Each structure stands twice: as C-alpha cells, then as structure tokens.
Amino acid sequence: MLNGSVGSLGIAPELLAVFVGFGLVVGILFGFFGMGGSFLVTPALLMMGYPPRVAVGSGMAFVFGTAVIATLKHHDLGQVDYKLGGIMIAGTTLGIEVGRASVFYLEDLGLAGGIISIAYVLLLGGIGLMVTREAIKGGGGGIDHDAVEKDLSEYEIPDTAKWIQQTIRIPPMVTLRGDVRVSAWVITFVAFLTGLLSGFLGVGGGFIRMPAMIYGIGVPVPVAVGTDLFEIVFSGAIGSYLYGQGGGVDLGIVVPLLLGSALGARVGSAATAVVDADGIKIYFGGMLLAGAVAVGIGEIGSYVGNPVLETIGLLLVIGAAVVVAAAILYTTVISLRESHHPSPSTAD
C-alpha cells in the first residue's frame, strides 16, 4: 500500500514527517503570537522547488484549515462579529481574485516566482523590523493575549480610527460590536487591500488585517481577532477553491502540515498562559528578518543557478522558525517549573 509513498497522499514518508514537523513549528508560532507562522509556508515550499501556484495554493489551503480550527475556538468565546465579517468577506473576495489573477498572469510571463519572492522579502523584512523595533521599545507587536480577557466596553478607539469614523461617513453606515459606527465602504476598502495580499502571496493576511481593523475601523481587539479568523475561513476557502481548480492545492502538503499545526497551535496557545510574550517577541522579529534574508538568498541562488544558496535559504527560513518555537517551549517548561518550585531546596 505505502510503496514508497504514504497512502493516497502520494508523498514519501520522510517528506510527510518534514511537513508534520514544520506544521508543528508553524502551529506553535501561530498559537503563541496569534500571527506569523503561516506566511513561512509559501516561501519554504517555493524554496523546496514547488511551482508558484502550488506553493501559494497549498499555503492558502493550509491557512484555511488553520483558520477553521481557530474560529471554532473563538466562536465558543463569543468573539466573532458576523456583520463585520460578512462585509469583509465581500471586499476580500474581490481582492483575492485580483491577486490570484495577477499570480497566474505573472506565471504566464515566467515572472511569478521572482516577484512573489521579492514581495515576501519586503513584507517579512518590513514586519520583522516593525516587530523587532516594538519589542526593543518594550511595546506590543502581535496579539496582546491579556487584552482578550477584558470587557469590550473597556477598549478605547484609537485616534486614527476616530478620525476615519468622523471624516469618512459615506452611507451606508453600520454599527459593530463595541458600539463602533463606521462606513461600510471603509470596511470594504480595508478588506479589498488585504484580500489582494492574500491572493497574491497565499497568506491569511491577518497580520495586516487585524491592525487595519483595530486602527482603521476601530473594533475592540478580541472582536478583531475573532472576526479576522472567521473572515479567513471564507477567504481561505474561496482562494483555495480557485487555486484548486487550477491544480494549485496539493493535499500531500496540506494534510500533514495541518496535522502538525493543529497540535502546535494548542501548545503555543497554552504557553501564552505561562510565558510573557514580550520577552520572545524580539526573537519573532528576528525570525521574520531571517525569513526575509533566506528568501533573498534562495532567490539569488535560483537566479545564478547555485543550488547550495537555495539550500542555505531553505535551512535558514526553517531553522529560524524552529529556533523560535524551541525557545517558546523551553521558556514555557522553565516558567512552569519555577512557578511550582520557587526554591530549588524544596524540589524533590
């Protein structure tokens, strides 16, 4: 039955183990930081030699599966605004389709791999710099896990969101959870831009959409998190469907990745209860920067036809993620033991 590949997935056992392991790492990062992880998958697949449409399509299908699992959890906590989600879905759908069409068009021109990689370098580099700077300053970056436990009425609307709400009052106006009143066009515009990014890069877009919802629309953090995940379920499903029609979704990649990430997300999420995320955010920023460098090195290797550079790039992007995930696990275990055995003399 197996005959060199695992069942109907048609994948070698070694590769299956690699994908489950990588999924576990990505899941830990996603569960702990509430973002990240998933946008390491597409560049890793690109560097492993998968065609751009398979790398992006499978990356998007993986994001879809991850979002389903996370939304089920947030639905149980009552943190999803379905009205906001519905409008976001409409704008994102159009954005994804424009992004996807761009990938297929660039692929016809033979430019897709290069341009997607450059976009990743800029994106990972930009976000990596931002998160690292915030971490060094001692500020945020990523989800404030403590914030999720506050009441919705306790949240202040950021100044930018207040300005947008007072300036752009094109009807129809909608009222969202937390008594936020905003033009449906603002929501649609934010959704279109993030959908464009999703369709072009195969990412969930949450790391752009969540700050956009908080600072652009003014919704409370927990609602932004829950609604974002709900929206990713739909955008991920539509994107995966469109890529799947073009043969871009490989179950041999998605199924093992999801198997590992679902477990990793539980571990990462549980770790947030015992570890201070601020201390590790600097590593997260460093990981994103390493990812940007890795994609750049891999692309140069591909351009000059040097497979060693491509391998170095791949090892760097996976290695950086593994190191951060291991740091989270190590810190969690140490924190747990310290909290239960404050003095070494009392230990068995």
Partner 1 sequence: MAGLEIPTWDPATALLIGVILFEAVVLYVGYGALERLLGPRIMKLLLGGVDSAER
Q: How far apart are CA 272 and CA 28, in angstroms?
A: 10
Q: Which is nearer to partner 1, 69 or 322 (CB)?
A: 69
Q: Which is nearer to partner 1, 223 or 253 (CB)?
A: 253
Q: How far apart are CA 232 and CA 271, in angstroms?
A: 24
List 119, 259, 282, 300, residue binding partner 1 (CB under 8 A): 259
Instruction: Give the nearest distance from C-beta 276 to partner 1 in angstroms.
Output: 18
Q: Hey, which residues between 179 and 238 contact partner 1 (CB under 8 A)?
A: 237-238
List 15, 152, 263, 300, residue binding partner 1 (CB under 8 A): 263
Q: Which is nearer to partner 1, 39 or 64 (CB)?
A: 64
Q: Hey, which residues between 4 and 43 contact partner 1 (CB under 8 A)?
A: none
Give the residues across from 181 on adjacent strands. Answer: 175
From residue 72, give the alpha-carbon distance in Å to each of 129, 143, 219, 241, 278: 32, 18, 20, 21, 27
* Burial tier of 255 (Cβ tally within 10 Å: 0-12, 13-18, 19+): buried
Asked if residue 245 binds partner 1 (CB under 8 A), the reply is yes
Torsion of CA 259, 264, 265, 268, to 10 degrees: 180
Question: Taking a C-beta distance cutoff of 8 angstroms, is the pair 10, 181 a contact?
Answer: no
Asked if residue 91 binds partner 1 (CB under 8 A), the reply is no
Which tokens go with 322?
């593994």
Instruction: Give the nearest distance from C-beta 212 to partner 1 in angstroms.
Output: 23
Instruction: Give the nearest distance from C-beta 229 to partner 1 in angstroms.
Output: 12
Asked if residue 113 binds partner 1 (CB under 8 A), the reply is no
Asked if residue 61 binds partner 1 (CB under 8 A), the reply is yes
Asked if residue 255 binds partner 1 (CB under 8 A), the reply is yes
Q: Hey, which residues between 126 and 145 contact partner 1 (CB under 8 A)?
A: none
Asked if residue 340 binds partner 1 (CB under 8 A), the reply is yes
Instruction: Give the nearest distance from C-beta 263 to partner 1 in angstroms.
Output: 6
Q: Which is nearer to partner 1, 14 or 76 (CB)?
A: 76
Instruction: Give me the residues that bind partner 1 (CB under 8 A), please.
Output: 61, 64-66, 68-69, 72-73, 97-98, 100-102, 104-105, 108, 237-238, 240-242, 244-245, 249, 251, 254-255, 258-259, 262-263, 266, 333, 336-337, 340-341, 348
